Amino acid sequence: MLFAIEEINNSTDLLPGTSLGYKMYDTCGSIARSVRVALALANGNEAVSSPSEAPCTRSEQVQAIMGETSSSPCMAIVTVIGPFHISLISPFATCACLSDKTKYPSFLRTIPSDYYQSRALAQLVRHFGWTWVGAIRTNDDYGNKGMAIFTETAQQLGICLEYSLSFFRTDPPDKIQKIIEIIKHSTSKVIVAFLSVFDMDVLMFKFSQYNLTGYQWVGSEGWIFDSQTAEMDKHHILDGAIGLAIPKAHVSGMKEFILNFKPVNSSGNDMLAEFWEALFNCKFKQLNSLTENQRECTGYEDLNLMQPSFIDMSLMPIFNNVYKGVYAVAHALHKILGCNGTCNYKVQLDPFIILQHIRNIHFTTKEGEDVYFNENGDPPAKYEIINWQPTENGVVDFVTVGLYDASLPADKQLSLQNKSLIWAQNSKQVPVSVCSEKCPPGTRKVLQKGKPVCCYDCIRCAEGEISNTTDSITCVQCQPEFWSNDRRDACLKKEAEFLSYEEIMGALLTAASLFGTCMTAVVAFIFFRYRKTPIVRANNSELSFLLLFSLTLCFLCSLTFIGRPSEWSCMLRHTAFGITFVLCISCVLGKTMVVLMAFKASLPGSNVMKWFGPTQQRLSVLAFTLIQVVICILWLTISPPFPFKNFKEIKDKIILECALGSTVGFWAVLGYIGLLASFCFILAFLARKLPDNFNEAKFITFSMLIFCAVWITFIPAYVSSPGKFSVAVEIFAILASSFGLLICIFIPKCYIILLRPEKNTKKNMMVKGAQKIS
């Protein structure tokens, strides 16, 4: 401040011909003393020092106050002097609460608000992926308000606090012990410290006693660039610390001013004399009586002999903030006094007018730095990101590794330079501090009961669900045409499955169907070739040829079940199957009734055959078949079968099948076939022991037994078979029952026709009491 005042008083451009006076106080951080001094200054009860020998020509009532360096004293001072509208410009009070102009209208500062610092710290923590951290704060307005903003921002960024502890340097030992125990038993490896330098020094000393090392410290500007704290860290507790600091600044001439400063040039200022005595361990004779072991201060001691940290401006950016604050007051006075070569000293100075001018001031320092205040009395928020990097000689080097500028867009505010960072315990690897590891793709997060949102378990997605990002909250259901892979991180298109001609099973069934068709055609050819022989003419040859025709249709209708289902194939396959099989069973039933009636007619006086001749046989077949036709027409009219995509039965495939439409219609068709087959089986069973060298009823009984057995076992097999196998089961039942009818009824006759022609005679076909049927 003295350097700025002397520079202004010697300037011919700023306040020409005017000398600024000052009064310096050391309040020792006491709020009560700060308020008392502020009231004294506001009332004009204190003498004001001036760098020049000329007496002050103005009232001794101060027009602005520089200070305090802590937030709580500033809040108390502004509350008291606010009604007087005296400006209070602080170089180091950062509490965001001081930006509230309704409560603190006369407060301004040359250091950014903690509103920006807290948010910057949260972004810095998130940048390195630390989502599980601990927090310690100074138990005052600076620490509590700053940590509250950090906590709020951290929650928005997905950062969780394992603990948040308050601490003050005067706390009893048991509270400090409790803090140490909490940290020792914590799982987080990163500690965010929103502390003043005094509290950090006390805490660091306690930590060294318990050897609490290995933690990654993230610090606020209150201690992160303090060289004395770094010198005191003999146990390397804070090595690798990272945090925000006020940007370093160089003010030309200040270093020379400090080195050439002599207290004899500032007579009347007791605080400077006390400072000099403490610095050189001496006493001024006129102020204090000397002891035996003390030497007398001359006032001309050489500051160049002091440690470099005292004269290194790069480590004391606070000086620059004081410098800018003094110049802000000077520029405001310059405008109020209308200085232009000379100043109008007749202008009555009013603290309220001065306050308004300081708020609206905008000037550039000789170093090119713009100085202005926003509507809250705050300067632009800019920070350097500092990393503590120990050197080989044990000295900590404060390395600037990045910048934070709140005036830039949100995604560009934080920028880290490509410099190698040093972390806790001199590690070059970024520490990991998370409550739970990231959930990989294919899993979702499930919060652990009673813990923060950063603590969770990774649950594998269920079948048909995926998550293709890390830390997914939910699993997404795949579309019906897709299914989830084994890793549950991608949906794969399901393969359409149906019984096709190209696959082995489809090819075998097709071959069996065609073989049955050809076999039926060969039998039909044999029967046609030997149509006039007794064995062919027996038991109504017309029904035999009709039965062979219907068996051909039965073999061929199985082909409609193979291939990609379509509307016409779905309607055709079940109706064709139902009608052809009824036609087939009707023919078998007719032949069975012919056998039964024939032997009944052989009894004396019986005239049964005239009621069941060829015409009646044709009509019975037609009638039985027409009933099935009517059932199929009703089924197709009311609710026909249709192509259907079954997504549920097999997880990784789409089953293309024919939905039944009306299940009642389907089971009515099967039920009618079963009814006719059962009736035919009963009649054939009754006629199996009738006397005849070639009793066809025996073979019909066997064929119906096979038919019924096949279709009875078909029902559970069909219901339990998945996908295309249910279609294969139905085709197999059709082919098996068709082959059963063909082989049991016609193969024995072909055997006699081709291999035993001597038995193919009328005489051999007859027995006593039998009647020839033509």
Is pLDDT above 50 for 408?
yes
- In 3D space, the residue among 124, 122, 167, 125 whose CA is nearest the CA of residue 148 turns out to be 122
ω into 68 cis (within 30 of 0):
yes
The number of beta carbons lying within 10 Å of the beta carbon of residue 139 is: 18
Summarize the confidence of residues 456-472 as an average pLDDT. 89
The number of beta carbons lying within 10 Å of the beta carbon of residue 269 is: 16
Least confident of 179-183, 486-490, 610-614, 696-700: 610-614
Torsion-angle region of 546 (φ positive above 0: left; ψ -120 to 50: alpha; else: beta): alpha
User: Alpha-carbon distance 229 to 516, whole Å?
Assistant: 99
Residues with Cβ < 8 Å from 356, sequence gap 6 or more? none
φ and ψ of 696, to 5 deg? -65, -20
Is pLDDT above 50 for 771?
no
* % pLDDT > 70, the chain: 89
Summarize the confidence of residues 85-94 as an average pLDDT. 94
Query: Could you tell me how many residues make up the chain?
Result: 774
Is pLDDT above 50 for 693?
no
Please, what is the average pLDDT of the chain? 85
Residues with Cβ < 8 Å from 542, sequence gap 6 or more? 614, 617, 618
User: Alpha-carbon distance 7 to 319, whole Å?
Assistant: 14
SS3 content of the chain, % helix, strand, coil (to 5): 50, 15, 40
Query: Do residues 217 and 191 lie in contact, with contact meaning Cβ atoms separated by under 8 Å?
Result: yes
Is pLDDT above 60 for 315?
no
- Joined together, the tokens standing for residue 625 give 């078949």
β strands within 476-608, DSSP E: 476-477, 482-484, 491-493, 495-497
Residues with Cβ < 8 Å from 663, sequence gap 6 or more? none
pLDDT band at 333 (very low <50, low <70, confident <90, very high): very high
DSSP single-letter state for residue 375:
T
Q: What was the pLDDT predicted at 611? A: 58
Q: Looking at the DSSP assignment, which residues form a beta bridge with residue 387?
A: 242, 399
User: Alpha-carbon distance 717 to 729, whole Å?
Assistant: 7
> Could you give the angle at the alpha carbon of 264 between the alpha carbons of 263 and 268, nearest 5°?
80
| Highest mean pLDDT pick, 136-140, 467-471, 621-625 | 136-140
The number of beta carbons lying within 10 Å of the beta carbon of residue 65 is: 25
Per-residue DSSP letters for 416-467? E-S-----GGG-SSPP---SSPPPPTTEEEEEPTTS-TT-EEEEEPPTTEE-
pLDDT band at 394 (very low <50, low <70, confident <90, very high): confident
Is pLDDT above 90 for 417?
no
The number of beta carbons lying within 10 Å of the beta carbon of residue 334 is: 23
Residues with Cβ < 8 Å from 751, sequence gap 6 or more? none
Q: What is the pLDDT of residues 226-257, one digit of tens each?
A: 888 998 898 899 999 999 999 988 888 887 88
User: Alpha-carbon distance 386 to 50, whole Å?
Assistant: 39
- In 3D space, the residue among 737, 739, 717 whose CA is nearest the CA of residue 729 turns out to be 717
Residues with Cβ < 8 Å from 188, sequence gap 6 or more? 132, 133, 134, 162, 163, 433, 435
φ and ψ of 136, to 5 deg? -130, 140
Q: What was the pLDDT predicted at 774? A: 33
CA distances from 693 to 680, 713, 766 (A): 21, 34, 7
Is pLDDT above 90 for 446?
yes
Is pLDDT above 50 for 768?
no
Summarize the confidence of residues 410-435 as an average pLDDT. 90
Q: What was the pLDDT predicted at 769? A: 38
User: Alpha-carbon distance 136 to 142, whole Å?
Assistant: 12
- Joined together, the tokens standing for residue 78 give 């502004």
Summarize the confidence of residues 33-42 as an average pLDDT. 88
Query: Do residues 284 and 274 lie in contact, with contact meaning Cβ atoms separated by under 8 Å?
Result: no
Query: Do residues 155 and 128 lie in contact, with contact meaning Cβ atoms separated by under 8 Å?
Result: no
Q: What was the pLDDT predicted at 288? A: 55
Q: What was the pLDDT predicted at 56? A: 57
Summarize the confidence of residues 385-406 as an average pLDDT. 92
- In 3D space, the residue among 180, 177, 243 whose CA is nearest the CA of residue 216 turns out to be 243
Q: What was the pLDDT predicted at 542? A: 82
Per-residue DSSP letters for 475-536? PEEPPTTEEE-TTSS-EEEPEEE---SSSHHHHHHHHHHHHHHHHHHHHHHHHHHTTTSHHH
Helices marked H in 247-381 — which ranges? Answer: 254-259, 270-280, 308-311, 317-336, 351-359
Q: Is 448 exposed, middle or buried, given 0-12, 13-18 or 19+ CB atoms closer than 10 A?
A: middle
Q: What was the pLDDT predicted at 323? A: 93
User: Alpha-carbon distance 505 to 87, whole Å?
Assistant: 96
Helices (H) and strands (E) counted in the chain, each on its own, are: 22, 24
pLDDT band at 511 (very low <50, low <70, confident <90, very high): very high
Summarize the confidence of residues 493-510 as an average pLDDT. 88
The number of beta carbons lying within 10 Å of the beta carbon of residue 38 is: 26
